[in-house]
């Protein structure tokens, strides 16, 4: 056999043997790798499974304080403004020309003081004429009365004479009234707010001459919501804080029986003294009325919270250490705290941790006691 052929056969046999040896050795290696992978997966699952389990906790720890209700005056606070007790436009009753100004704008006057004078023209002459006629009628009446007593005159003559006398007297009084109407006087103590008349001006009847403002007392008025209107009565006490800094106290003078159709609120008037004349009309104010006494708690506003429905209230802990939510109403809020109603007489309120617990949840409370304020 050719030498080269023999060499080729040997090479082919060697290659085949090498291939055969690789086919039988690889499967065990793959099986080992699969076993290792499965073992690693089992180990990872064993480590991860405990981490996926929820961590077990005890009851949430909160800080609570015991509050006891006390009797307090219920205050109703209303936004309002100051108003003059009365402000009057004094108008001319008869036409005339202004000849004298006796009071200037901003001047304080007393009741009966002369403010403006109109020209009298022929009024004095008319008065003298009327008075002369009165004297004539008096003489005629006296004569008729004397004759009637002596029987020389009929009773009808006496009655006619008396009627003429009364007519003359009425005419004279009418002239005096017209003359008095030409002098404008202050109807009450007050301050001149506006003066429309000027010397030489002709004023028609019905035209405004002077605007007079009554300064003492003063009014502070506001609109009370319908839910509170029955809690305010005429004669109740109240006080008002003005935006200008003054604080004035007074008495309820008026509570409207008819609501404003737009706001469904009722007008209320607080009458206050102003003997020093410091108050001005139209100043913004906050009126506080005292109402019935109620049992209330004074708390820190920081513990107020909202429930899922958006109601304002507080979270408390009952005797079984279960969280409860109480809606409350704020009566007042000051630097000393918020005064609220809507709670039991004695209650344990959550002061720390109220935002981390919910109604029906059992908690671990740490208790303190609040002193009544």
Q: What is the CATH number of the domain that holds 282?
A: 2.40.30.170
Q: 347, 369 in Cβ contact below 8 A? A: no
**How far is the C-alpha of 60 from the C-alpha of 336, rounded, in Å?**
30
Most confident of 149-163, 284-298, 313-327: 313-327
**CATH number of the domain where residue 129 is located:** 1.10.287
Q: How confident is the model at residue 27 (pLDDT cuts 50, 70, 90)?
A: very low
Query: Looking at 266, 294, 322, which one is the last position of a domain?
Result: 294
The answer, yes or no, to whether residue 196 has pLDDT greater than 70, is yes
Q: How confident is the model at residue 357 (pLDDT cuts 50, 70, 90)?
A: confident
Task: Let me know whether 226 and 287 are in one domain.
Answer: yes
- What sign has the CA pseudo-torsion 165, 171, 176, 180? positive
Task: Let me know whether 311 and 281 are in one domain.
Answer: no
84-120 pLDDT per residue, tens: 999 999 999 889 999 999 999 999 999 999 999 999 8
Task: Tell me, yes or no, whether 305 lies in a domain.
Answer: yes
**DSSP run (H or E) holding 251:** strand 247-255
Task: Let me know whether 284 and 303 are in one domain.
Answer: no
Tokens matching residue 290: 């005292």
Task: Let me know whether 228 and 177 are in one domain.
Answer: no
Task: Tell me, yes or no, whether 36 lies in a domain.
Answer: no
Task: Tell me, yes or no, whether 145 lies in a domain.
Answer: yes
The tally of domains found in the chain comes to: 3
Task: Tell me, yes or no, whether 45 lies in a domain.
Answer: no
**Residue 158 confidence (pLDDT):** 81
**Residue 57 confidence (pLDDT):** 62
**How far is the C-alpha of 362 from the C-alpha of 59, rounded, in Å?**
6
> Residue range 60-69: average pLDDT?
90
Most confident of 3-12, 124-133, 232-241: 232-241
Query: Looking at 156, 181, 206, which one is the last position of a domain?
Result: 181
How many CA within 13 A on the CB side of residue 269? 13
The answer, yes or no, to whether residue 24 has pLDDT greater than 50, is no
**DSSP run (H or E) holding 114:** strand 114-118
* Percent of all residues in the chain with a pLDDT value above 70, rounded to a whole number: 83
The answer, yes or no, to whether residue 20 has pLDDT greater than 70, is no
Residues paired with residue 365 on neighbouring β-strands, in sequence order? 62
Task: Let me know whether 264 and 301 are in one domain.
Answer: no
**How far is the C-alpha of 235 from the C-alpha of 221, rounded, in Å?**
15
Task: Let me know whether 272 and 309 are in one domain.
Answer: no
Task: Let me know whether 256 and 303 are in one domain.
Answer: no
Query: Looking at 257, 276, 294, which one is the last position of a domain?
Result: 294
Q: 351, 67 in Cβ contact below 8 A? A: no
Task: Kindly report the pTM of this predicted structure.
Answer: 0.58
**CATH number of the domain where residue 319 is located:** 2.40.420.20
Task: Let me know whether 225 and 286 are in one domain.
Answer: yes
Task: Let me know whether 279 and 304 are in one domain.
Answer: no
Can you give the residue range of the structural domain that contains 351? 62-71+295-369
Q: How confident is the model at residue 29 (pLDDT cuts 50, 70, 90)?
A: very low
Q: Among 183-187, 258-262, 281-285, 336-340, whose mean pLDDT is lowest? A: 336-340
């Amino acid at each position: 056999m050719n030498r080269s052929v023999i060499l080729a056969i040997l090479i082919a046999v060697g290659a085949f043997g090498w291939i055969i040896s690789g086919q039988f050795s690889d499967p065990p290696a793959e099986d080992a790798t699969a076993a290792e992978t499965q073992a690693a997966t089992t180990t990872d699952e064993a480590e991860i499974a405990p981490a996926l389990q929820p961590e077990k906790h005890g009851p949430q720890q909160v800080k609570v304080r015991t509050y006891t209700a006390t009797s307090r005056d219920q205050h109703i606070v209303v936004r309002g403004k100051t108003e003059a007790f009365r402000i009057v436009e004094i108008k001319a009753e008869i036409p005339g020309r202004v000849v004298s100004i006796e009071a200037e704008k901003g001047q304080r006057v007393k009741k009966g003081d002369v403010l403006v004078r109109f020209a009298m023209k022929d009024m004095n002459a008319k008065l003298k004429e009327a008075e002369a006629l009165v004297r004539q009628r008096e003489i005629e009446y006296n004569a008729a009365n004397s004759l009637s007593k002596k029987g020389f005159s009929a009773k009808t003559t006496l009655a006619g004479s008396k009627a003429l006398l009364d007519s003359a007297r009425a005419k004279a009084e009418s002239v005096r009234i017209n003359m008095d109407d030409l002098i404008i006087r202050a109807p009450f103590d007050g301050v001149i707010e506006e003066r429309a008349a000027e010397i030489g001006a002709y004023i028609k009847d019905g035209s405004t001459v002077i605007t007079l403002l009554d300064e003492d007392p003063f009014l502070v008025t506001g609109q009370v919501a319908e839910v509170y209107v029955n809690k305010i009565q005429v004669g109740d006490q109240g006080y008002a804080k003005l935006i200008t800094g003054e604080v004035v106290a007074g008495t309820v003078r008026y509570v409207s029986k008819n609501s404003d159709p737009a706001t469904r609120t009722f007008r209320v008037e607080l009458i206050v003294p102003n003997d020093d004349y410091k108050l001005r009309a139209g100043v913004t104010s906050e009126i506080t009325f005292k109402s019935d006494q109620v049992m209330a708690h004074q708390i820190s506003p920081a513990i107020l919270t909202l429930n899922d429905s958006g109601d304002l209230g507080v979270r408390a802990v009952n005797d079984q250490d279960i969280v409860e939510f109480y809606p409350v109403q704020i009566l007042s809020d000051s630097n000393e705290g918020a005064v609220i109603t809507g709670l039991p007489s004695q209650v344990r309120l959550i002061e720390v941790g109220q935002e981390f617990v919910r109604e029906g949840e059992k908690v671990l409370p740490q208790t303190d006691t609040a002193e009544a304020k």
